[in-house]
Amino acid sequence: MELRLQIFLISLLLVLFVPFSSSSKPKDPFLGIAPQDEKYFKSSDVIKCKDGSANFNKDQLNDDFCDCPDGTDEPGTSACPRGKFYCRNAGHSPLYLFSSRVNDGICDCCDGSDEYDGKAKCPNTCWEAGKVARDKLKKKIATYQEGVKVRKQAIEQAHLALEKDAAELSKLKKEESILKGVVKQLKDHKEQIDKAEEKERLQKEKEEKEKKEAEEKEKANEKNNKADEEDTELENEAEKQSHIEDDSAASNHEKIEVQEDSPVYQDEAEETLADTLDNFVEATDTPGSEGSLLNKAEENAKESEREPAVESETDLKTGEPESSEEVINKVSA
């Protein structure tokens, strides 16, 4: 119980101490507010705490009394522990401070805006402090500007390259279309040539085949004609030989008849016969010769019966008969 009473008294003292800890209220009611948040505080007479816990009016803004637990109503004083003070720091980088650092006698903002109660004198050192940052920023800006130029040049070159590529692509497409047409024409022409060559080849093969067949047929006909001619020649030769033999036989027969009827021939025949008989008689007187002579005589007699008075070619040409001496020699032989 005593502990609770002590805690209550301490809390009451703190509440009573906080409003009276600030030395004064800022002259600018929008002090400590960032430029991007000013519209939020100026838009209406009644302002709502950012955490939505309560509302306050413009007279309560920076009145050095904490109305919002999140410190929305006291951005420029140290009344709210959770409040934040915005240092503009013109010429240098802006900065947020905890509200407990406002009017604490230490210059936290380079422009001195956090010590507005006059207890501490804070000169504005933002320009000097921001020189290095500005130089860096200038270099950065120059680099960016140079990059922008390079980027612009690159973009222009890229546009030119794209236009060139587009023109080249269009040209290539036209050439492609033309070449496709040419290729199609060449293919059609090639097909026609192939068809013509194939037709010519088939025609040539057909002609060669017909020519070969004709040559073979001609050779066969020539062979048959030659065989027919040879057969005809043989027949003619045989017929001619037959006529010659017939004529020769007839002529010889006539001549033999003539000679037989001739007295000279009859006398010569008688003499030949007589001589033959004499020779026969003489031969019979010789031992061992009887049979041979008798056989020769019989053979000569038979031959004489078959071919009486045969003439030689010379006798046939001259028409003269053989002499008796020749007849005897033939009989002896």
pLDDT confidence tier of residue 315, bands split at 50, 70 and 90: very low
Mean pLDDT value across residues 294-316: 50
Q: How confident is the model over 147-169, as pLDDT tens digits?
A: 999 999 999 999 999 999 999 99
pLDDT at 230: 83
Confidence class of residue 15 from pLDDT cuts 50, 70 and 90? very low
Tell me what pLDDT residue 229 has. Answer: 82
Residue 96: beta bridge partners?
A: 86
Asked if 158 contacts 165 with a C-beta cutoff of 8 angstroms, the reply is no
Mark out the alpha helices in the chain (DSSP H runs). 2-17, 38-42, 126-261, 263-285, 290-306, 313-318, 324-332
Query: What residue has token string 């010789």?
Result: 286
Q: How confident is the model at residue 8 (pLDDT cuts 50, 70, 90)?
A: low
CA distance 228 to 234: 10
- Res 239: pLDDT: 80
Flag whether pLDDT at 312 surpasses 90. no
Residues whose CB is less than 8 angstroms from the CB of residue 95 and which lie 6 or more positions away in sequence, other chains included: 86, 87, 89, 108, 109
pLDDT at 281 (0 to 100): 52
pLDDT tens digits, 65-116: 999 999 999 999 999 999 999 999 998 889 999 999 999 999 999 999 999 9
Average pLDDT over residues 259-271: 59
And the tokens for 116?
């507005």
Q: Which two tokens stand for residue 25?
A: 């209220």
5 band by pLDDT with thresholds 50, 70 and 90: low
Predicted confidence (pLDDT) per residue in 36-71, tens digit:
999 999 888 899 999 998 999 988 999 999 999 999
Confidence of residue 240 (pLDDT cuts 50, 70, 90): confident
- Which pair of structure tokens corresponds to residue 317? 């040409």
What is residue 266's predicted lDDT score, i.e. its pLDDT?
Answer: 59
User: Which residue's structure tokens are 């800890």?
Assistant: 21
Confidence band of 290 (pLDDT split at 50, 70, 90): very low
**pLDDT bucket at 173, cuts 50 / 70 / 90:** very high
Whether the pLDDT of residue 178 is over 60: the answer is: yes
